[in-house]
C-alpha cells in the first residue's frame, strides 16, 4: 500500500502532516495528484476547533493538480490532464442539484437536500492539503485548466473567487448600481472584483486594515473606507447623498458588519451575505423599516461543479481580473505548519498562501 | 365651504368622527366619493398610538368609491366612474417608481427614494374613512371597477389582497412548491390564496384560532396547523418528511412566527416576510445554517398603483378566489367607533368590516 | 440470454413488435420493468420517417415501471420500487446540466452542450415501448412514485405534463395574466392546465376540434375558441378589448399557430413555443413591431430528471390537476400496432393511449 | 409670440431648418433650451420617408439642455438646471409603465398599452433638433446632469447608450458568458461596451468596416471579425470550439445579421435583438433546432425615463466607459443640413455628430 503526506486534523489546536494511504479509486472517482493548494479561513476555524470535523481527517478544499487515476465509470477525461475541482463538490444527481442548489446537495438522503451537503473536501471526506486527493463524482467536478493559466492563476477559483463572485451574482447587481462590500479579506476582495465586473458604477470597499484597502482599490473599489478611522455607515450615506446603496455585501461574518450592511441599504436594496457567522444575528427594527422596506437578504455558499470552475477560469483567462496577486506567500507542503502559523495569525500582510507538495 | 364626515386620529386611544372641509382638488388629484371602505390592523396600531400620525389626520387607506371631481391636468377618466385606489398611492414618476419599487416612492426627495414613501392615505395625507377622499396622482392610481363586481368584492384589493398575494409573488413560488403561511389573519389568508394560485402543490396554514383555520382551508390551505395545540415547526417538518418547505410566508410580525418560518425552510428556501414588526428580530444561528444555507429573506410592502389594482380585480372577476367572504361585519360610517371597537378587540370572529358612508 | 418484447422502428412506415435481448446493466444504469407506457406524437413522426432514428431502435420515451436491477454504482434505490423516468434523461454532470439546461445535455462532448442531447429514450438509445427499459444515469433520473398514485395518474409526467407545464413556466406567467394557448392536443391541454395553475386570470384555449375544447374547459380554459369557425386572432383581440394577451403559448408546431400567437401578444408580451416545427418560420414585420415591441420568444424542450418528476407528481397528488382523464384508450403491448393505428390517425377522439406490457 | 429655429420634416427626402413658435408650457411640461443634440439612424429613415411622421414635425430625440420654464404642476426642479431626457419619454402613469414596460406606454389609450408609445420626441410630438424642446411629463423625464460631465459626455445616454446597454441587460448576461455583437455602428458599439460591463468574459464584435472594428476593440471587444472578409458564423464557431455563444446581440436590423446571430447561439442561448427591421424575418428550422433548443429571442426598445438616465450617467461618471469618443463631428444647428448629408451617407468615418444650437 502506497502512502502519501497529508495535513490531518488531530484535535482542536493541532493539525499535523502525516503519512496516510493513497486512497482507492471508486468507479465514479478520480485520484488527483495535487500540485498547488492553499489554506482557507475555514481551515483555521477547524484548527481552532470552532468548526468540528472528525479527528484524522485530511483538511483543505482548494485543489489544483493532475489526474493520476480515473474510476472505472468515468468517461471524458484522460490521466495526466491538469484540473481543478471546486471547494464544493456536488454529486450532480441529488434533487438539490437538479433544482439548482448544488451546494445544499443531499445525495443519499431520503429527500435530496442537506444543508451544506455539497461541501465534502476537508469536511466530510479527506481534503487536498496532501499529495493526492480523491475527487468524488469526478465527471461533475473535474474542470480542465487552460494551458495558458498557471496553477497560481487558478488557485482562487475553487473557493475564494467562486464565493466572492457569488456575492455579487446572487445580489443581481445591475449596470449602474452602487455597491458596498464589508470587509476586504480574500472573499471580500473577490466580491469587490465581482461587483465591478457585474456593472456596478460605484463600488465601496470597507475594512480596518489599510493594506487591504490598497488592494481593494486595485481590484475595483472606487472608494475605500477605513472602518478603524471613520464610521462606515455614516461615510457611505454621505457618499451616496443619503440614498444608500443598491447592494451591500457582507464578507466577514459578524453582527457588526451584517448590521452595517443593512443600515446602508436603500429601500428595496439587497443584502448579500457571504460571511460564516458564529452567533445569532440581530436585525434592528429601524434598519429593517419594520419589515416594510422591500429589502432582500440573500445568503450563498460557494458554488462548485466543473461548469462553475470553467466559467471562473474563463474570466481569469480573459484578463478581466488578476487574482494571482492575492498569493502573498509560498510554502512547501512539508512546511505547512509554518504556513498555518503565518496565515492563522494574519502576519506579514498575508492574503493567501500557495502550498506545493 | 362644504364639509364631510371623516374619521380622525386625535390622540393615542382616541379616534373620532368629525366634520372636515371637503378637500380642494389640485391639478393631478381626483376627489372620490367613498362608497365602501374598511379598517386595517394598521389603523388599530394608529389608534393605540403604536404607529404615530399627525393629530387631526383622517385615517383609512382602502377606498372604493365614485369619481366626484377630476383635477385640471387629469385625462382619461370621467366623473361618475366607480373606482378603487390602492392603499399605496405611488406618484409614478419618482426614481423608486421608475425602478419598480413604487412602495418606496421618494417623489420630491432629492434622490427619489423614501422608505414607505408610497403609503400616503391615512399616514401622510388624509385617508378614506370619510365621505370623500382626495386621491393624489390620480392617473397613476385610479383603477376603474368592472361593472360585474360589487364594492365588497373588490374591497380587499387595495391592501389585504395586494399585500397577501405579494408575499407569494415575491417568493417566486413555482409549480410544485411546498409553502407554509404563518398566521391566517386577513393578510395571511390572502397569502394562502396567493400561494395556491401561484402553483404551490402543498399549502400549509398556521394559526392559533380554529375559526381562521377553517377559512384557510376554504381559501386554499391543504393542511392547517393549530399552533395553540402543536408546535408548528415540528408538525411542518413531519409533514414534509424532514425536508422543510420551499417557501415560508410570515404574515403576523412577531419574532416567534419569523423564527418558525426560518426553521421550517429547506436549504435554498425563501422566507417571504409581510408582517409589520415592532421589535428587533433575532436570526438564530442554527436555523440560518450559519449564513451558508442559500436562504433568502424578502420583505414586501403592499404594492399599489392602478395596474396592480386592475390585475387583482381581474383575479376576482375570473372567480379564481372569492374574498368577499372575508367581510364578516358591516357598519355605517356614523357607527365607525363601534366598528373599531369590534375589530380592535377581534371579537365575534371578525375578519374584515365593511364601512359605508 | 433472456429476451423481451420491444417496439422497434424498422423503416419509415414500419414499426414492429420484436424479441430483443434484455439489456445488460452498466454501473450507473437501472433496468426497469415497464408496467405502463404510452405513444407520443413524436413517435408517429418517427414511424412516418419524418424524424429519423436508427433502424432497430426500440422507441417510446414515457416509462412507468418497477426497478428490476440496479447498476453496481447506483445508491439510494432498491429493487422492486415503482418509479418513473422523464422522457428526457439528463446525465446530471454535463456542463449544460450544471448550468440548468438539462435538455441540451452534452455529456461526452468536448464542451458539454448538445442540442436535444438530453433526449435519449427512443432517440439515441432504446426506449420504453417494451417489457424492459434501461435507464441511464439512474440516480439522476429515477423518481419513486407515491403509493397513492396509479400508473395512469403519473403517465403524463414524463413528457406531456412536463412539456406543457414548461410552456407556462418559461413564460413566467404572473398572477392576473391573460394567456392564450394555441392548439389543445395533449401538450396544449397541459399548457392550459399549467397556465391556470400559474395564476393566469384568463386562459383562452384555441383548437379546431370541438371535443378538445370541451376538455380544455375542464382543464382550466376560461374561454375556448374553435379556430375552424372563427379567426382566433380577431376573437382574442375582441376578448381582450384590443389589448392582446400577456402570454401566448404555441403547442402545435406550425407557421399558422406561431404567427397567430405573435399577433395576439401585447407589447412586452411573451410567446412561449412548445411545438416541433417542420419548416422555417416567418416572423411578420408588423406583428413583431419591427423588432421594437419588447417581445420575447422562448422555446422549451421537455424538462426531465428526477426532481422535475417529483414536483410534477406532487402536483398530481395534491389534486391540483387530474390528467388521468387524458387516457382515452388502453392497449396491451402485444396490440401496439393497433394502438399506433388509432393514435396515428387520431381516430375515435383519442388523446392518449395507455400501453401495458 | 417668440420663435425658434427647428429642424422640420417636410416630405420624404426633405428636412429643413425653419422658424417655429416656441411652445407653450402645459402644467406637466418643461421647456428645455437645447445646448447639444445629435442625429440618429432613425432620423435618416424619417428623412428618406422609410419611417413616416407628420409633415411639419420637428425631429430629433436626444436632447441635452437647460430648463427654461417649468409647468405649473411640476415640482422638484428649478429653472437653469442642466438636464437630459431620454429618447423615450414615458408618462410614468400608464399601465404599461406601472408594469415595467415604459417604452410601450399607452397613456390615454383605453387599456394602457401602445406599441412604441413611449417614443414621442420627433415621432408623435416635436423633437429636439431645435433651439427649444418641450419635455412632456417632465417629472418622469428630466434627469439632472452631474456638473462633472460635459454635454458631449452624456450625449449618448438618451438613445444610443440606453439602447445598446439594454441589449446586454435584457439578455441577462452573466459573469463568464461569451457574447457576439452583430454590427458595430453606434448602438452595436454600446452593446459591446454593455456586454463587457455586464461581466462577459469574451465579447466578439462583428462588422464590415475596419474602422468600426478598431473602435469595437477599444470599447471592449476581445475579438473582432470583419464580415467582409470571413464568414462570421464559421469564425465564431471556430473561436468557441464549436460550442457557440451564450448571448448574441443583433444591432443592425437585417435578416442576415438576425440569422447569423441565431446560428451562433449555443442551445439555451439568448438572441437579444435591437435592430429596427424593415422586412419580415425568417427563422431557419435548423438554426432554431426545430423549436427545441431552449433558445430565447428578446427584443428591446430603448428604455427611457429619468431613473434610466441617472443610472447611465453614473456609469459615465464612474469612468467605466468613455462614449464621448463616439462624437466624431460637430456642427452648428444652422448647418444641420450638412450634418444630415455627412451622417446619412456615412462619410468620413462618422459615428455620431454633435449639433449645437
CA distance B9 to chain C (A): 36
Q: What is the C-alpha separation between B169 and B191, in angstroms, rounded?
A: 9
Assigned architecture for domain D162-299: 3-Layer(aba) Sandwich (3.40)
Q: What is the C-alpha separation between B61 and A312, in angstroms, rounded?
A: 50
CA distance D172 to chain A (A): 10
Whether D325 shows a pLDDT value over 80: the answer reads yes
**Type and span of the H or E element at D31:** strand D30-38
Contact between chains at C73 and A100 (C-beta distance less than 8 A): no
Domain spans, chain D: 3-86+121-156+323-356, 162-299
Counting one residue from chain A and one from chain C, the pairs whose CB atoms sit within 8 A come to: 64
Contact between chains at C199 and B202 (C-beta distance less than 8 A): no
Cβ of residue B243 closer than 8 Å to a chain C Cβ: no
Give A241's contacts in chain B (Cβ within 8 Å): 110-111
> What is the pLDDT at residue D324?
86
Give C169's contacts in chain B (Cβ within 8 Å): 174-175
Cβ of residue B211 closer than 8 Å to a chain D Cβ: no
> What is the pLDDT at residue A17?
97
Q: What does the pLDDT look like over D157-213, one tens digit per residue?
A: 999 999 999 999 999 999 999 999 999 999 999 999 999 999 999 999 999 999 999
Choose the closest CB to D113 out of C253, C267, C277.
C267
Cβ of residue A281 closer than 8 Å to a chain B Cβ: yes
φ/ψ (deg, to 5) at B332: -80, 155
**Type and span of the H or E element at A97:** helix A95-98
Choose the closest CB to A301 out of B243, B277, B292.
B292
Q: What does the pLDDT look like over C329-349, one tens digit per residue?
A: 999 999 999 999 999 999 999
Interface of A with B in 31-50 (CB under 8 A): none
Q: Which residue of A has its CA nearest to C137?
A: A93
Give D95's contacts in chain B (Cβ within 8 Å): 306-307, 310
Cβ of residue D315 closer than 8 Å to a chain A Cβ: yes
CA distance A157 to chain D (A): 13
Contact between chains at D222 and A165 (C-beta distance less than 8 A): no
Cβ of residue C98 closer than 8 Å to a chain A Cβ: yes
Alpha carbon distance, N-terminus to C-terminus of chain B: 20
Contact between chains at D140 and B76 (C-beta distance less than 8 A): no
> What is the pLDDT at residue A324?
86
Interface of C with D in 149-188 (CB under 8 A): none
Give D100's contacts in chain C (Cβ within 8 Å): 268
> What is the pLDDT at residue A357?
93
Whether B283 shows a pLDDT value over 80: the answer reads yes
Confidence of residue D81 (pLDDT cuts 50, 70, 90): very high
Could you tell me the fold of the domain covering A164-299? Rossmann fold (3.40.50)
Give D273's contacts in chain C (Cβ within 8 Å): 291
Cβ of residue B321 closer than 8 Å to a chain C Cβ: no
> What is the pLDDT at residue C325?
84
| All partners of chain C with 3 or more CB pairs under 8 angstroms | A, B, D
| All partners of chain A with 3 or more CB pairs under 8 angstroms | B, C, D
Contact between chains at D311 and A201 (C-beta distance less than 8 A): yes
Alpha carbon distance, N-terminus to C-terminus of chain C: 20
Cβ of residue C73 closer than 8 Å to a chain A Cβ: yes
Contact A298, A270 (CB under 8 A): yes
Cβ of residue A292 closer than 8 Å to a chain B Cβ: yes
Contact between chains at C198 and B194 (C-beta distance less than 8 A): no
Choose the closest CB to B28 out of D73, D95, D140.
D73
Counting one residue from chain B and one from chain C, the pairs whose CB atoms sit within 8 A come to: 60
> What is the pLDDT at residue A110?
83
Could you give the 3-state DSSP secondary structure of residue B266? strand
Contact between chains at B294 and A101 (C-beta distance less than 8 A): yes
Give B306's contacts in chain C (Cβ within 8 Å): none
> What is the pLDDT at residue B324?
86
Contact between chains at B92 and D92 (C-beta distance less than 8 A): yes
Q: What does the pLDDT look like over D241-300, one tens digit per residue?
A: 999 999 999 999 999 999 999 999 999 999 999 999 999 999 999 999 999 999 999 999
Average pLDDT over residues B74-89: 97
Choose the closest CB to B198 out of C199, C310, C312.
C199
Whether D99 shows a pLDDT value over 80: the answer reads yes
CA distance C275 to chain D (A): 7
CATH number for the segment(s) A3-86+121-156+323-356: 3.90.180.10
Q: Which residue of A has its CA nearest to D222?
A: A318
Whether D110 shows a pLDDT value over 90: the answer reads no
Choose the closest CB to B73 out of D28, D92, D107.
D28
> What is the pLDDT at residue B325?
84
User: DSSP string of D134-189?
Assistant: EESSHHHH-EEPPTTS-HHHHTTIIIIIHHHHHHHHHTT--TT-EEEEE--SHHHH
Choose the closest CB to D318 out of A202, A314, A320.
A202
Whether B149 shows a pLDDT value over 90: the answer reads yes
Choose the closest CB to B307 out of D98, D102, D305.
D98
In tens digits, chain C (357 residues) has pLDDT values of: 699 999 999 999 999 999 999 999 999 999 999 999 999 999 999 999 999 999 999 999 999 999 999 999 999 999 999 999 999 999 999 999 999 999 999 998 888 999 999 999 999 999 999 999 999 999 999 999 999 999 999 999 999 999 999 999 999 999 999 999 999 999 999 999 999 999 999 999 999 999 999 999 999 999 999 999 999 999 999 999 999 999 999 999 999 999 999 999 999 999 999 999 999 999 999 999 999 999 999 999 999 999 999 999 999 999 999 998 899 999 999 999 999 999 999 999 999 999 999
Average pLDDT over residues A289-305: 97
φ/ψ (deg, to 5) at D59: -105, 175
Average pLDDT over residues D117-123: 97
Across all residues in chain B, what is the average pLDDT?
Answer: 97
> What is the pLDDT at residue A47?
96
Choose the closest CB to B73 out of D27, D305, D307.
D27
Choose the closest CB to B93 out of D107, D112, D139.
D139
ipTM of the complex: 0.97
Contact between chains at D298 and C296 (C-beta distance less than 8 A): yes
Sheet holding D296-299, edge to edge: C223-226, C202-207, C178-182, C245-250, C265-273, C296-299, D296-299, D265-273, D245-250, D178-182, D202-207, D223-226
Q: What is the C-alpha separation between B245 and C39, in angstroms, rounded?
A: 35
Contact between chains at C91 and A92 (C-beta distance less than 8 A): yes
Counting one residue from chain C and one from chain D, the pairs whose CB atoms sit within 8 A come to: 154
Q: What does the pLDDT look like over B184-205, one tens digit per residue?
A: 999 999 999 999 999 999 999 9
Q: Which residue of D has its CA nearest to C253?
A: D291
Counting one residue from chain A and one from chain B, the pairs whose CB atoms sit within 8 A come to: 154
- Residues whose CB is less than 8 angstroms from the CB of residue C115 and which lie 6 or more positions away in sequence, other chains included: C104, D267, D289, D292, D293
Contact between chains at D27 and B137 (C-beta distance less than 8 A): no
CA atoms within 13 A on the CB side of B237: 12
Cβ of residue D320 closer than 8 Å to a chain A Cβ: yes
Contact between chains at A283 and B284 (C-beta distance less than 8 A): no
Contact C41, C189 (CB under 8 A): no
Whether B1 shows a pLDDT value over 80: the answer reads no
Q: Which residue of A has its CA nearest to B302?
A: A292
> What is the pLDDT at residue B282?
98
Could you tell me the fold of the domain covering B161-299? Rossmann fold (3.40.50)
Amino acid at each position: 500500500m502506497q502512502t502519501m503526506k497529508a495535513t490531518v486534523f488531530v484535535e482542536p489546536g493541532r493539525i499535523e502532516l502525516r503519512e496516510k494511504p493513497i486512497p482507492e479509486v471508486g468507479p465514479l472517482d478520480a485520484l488527483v495528484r495535487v500540485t498547488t493548494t492553499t489554506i482557507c479561513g475555514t481551515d483555521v476555524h477547524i484548527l481552532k476547533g470552532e468548526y468540528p470535523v472528525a479527528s484524522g481527517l485530511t483538511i483543505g478544499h482548494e485543489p489544483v493538480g493532475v489526474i493520476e487515476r480515473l474510476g472505472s465509470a468515468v468517461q471524458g477525461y484522460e490521466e495526466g490532464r491538469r484540473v481543478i475541482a471546486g471547494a464544493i463538490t456536488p454529486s450532480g444527481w441529488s434533487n438539490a442539484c437538479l433544482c439548482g442548489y448544488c451546494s445544499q446537495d443531499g445525495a443519499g438522503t431520503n429527500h435530496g437536500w442537506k444543508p451544506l451537503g455539497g461541501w465534502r473536501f476537508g469536511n466530510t471526506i479527506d481534503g487536498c492539503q496532501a499529495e493526492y486527493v480523491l475527487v468524488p463524482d469526478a465527471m461533475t467536478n473535474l474542470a480542465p485548466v487552460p494551458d495558458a493559466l498557471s496553477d497560481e492563476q487558478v488557485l482562487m477559483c475553487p473557493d475564494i473567487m467562486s464565493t466572492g463572485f457569488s456575492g455579487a451574482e446572487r445580489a443581481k447587481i445591475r449596470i449602474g448600481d452602487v455597491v458596498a462590500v464589508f470587509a476586504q479579506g480574500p472573499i471580500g476582495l473577490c466580491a469587490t472584483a465581482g461587483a465591478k465586473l457585474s456593472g456596478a458604477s460605484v463600488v465601496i470597499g470597507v475594512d480596518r486594515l489599510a493594506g487591504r484597502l490598497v488592494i481593494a482599490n486595485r481590484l475595483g473599489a472606487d472608494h475605500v473606507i477605513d472602518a478603524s478611522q471613520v464610521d462606515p455607515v455614516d461615510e457611505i450615506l454621505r457618499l451616496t447623498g443619503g440614498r444608500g446603496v443598491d447592494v451591500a455585501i457582507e464578507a466577514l461574518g459578524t453582527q457588526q458588519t451584517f448590521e452595517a450592511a443593512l443600515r446602508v441599504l436603500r429601500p428595496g436594496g439587497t443584502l448579500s451575505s457571504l460571511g460564516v457567522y458564529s452567533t445569532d444575528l440581530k436585525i434592528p427594527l429601524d434598519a429593517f423599516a419594520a419589515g416594510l422596506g422591500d429589502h432582500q437578504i440573500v445568503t450563498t455558499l460557494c458554488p462548485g461543479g466543473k461548469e462553475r470552475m470553467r466559467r471562473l477560469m474563463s474570466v481569469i483567462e480573459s484578463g478581466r481580473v488578476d487574482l494571482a496577486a492575492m498569493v502573498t506567500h509560498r510554502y512547501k507542503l512539508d512546511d505547512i505548519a509554518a504556513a498555518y502559523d503565518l496565515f492563522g495569525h494574519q502576519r506579514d500582510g498575508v492574503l493567501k498562501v500557495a502550498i506545493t507538495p
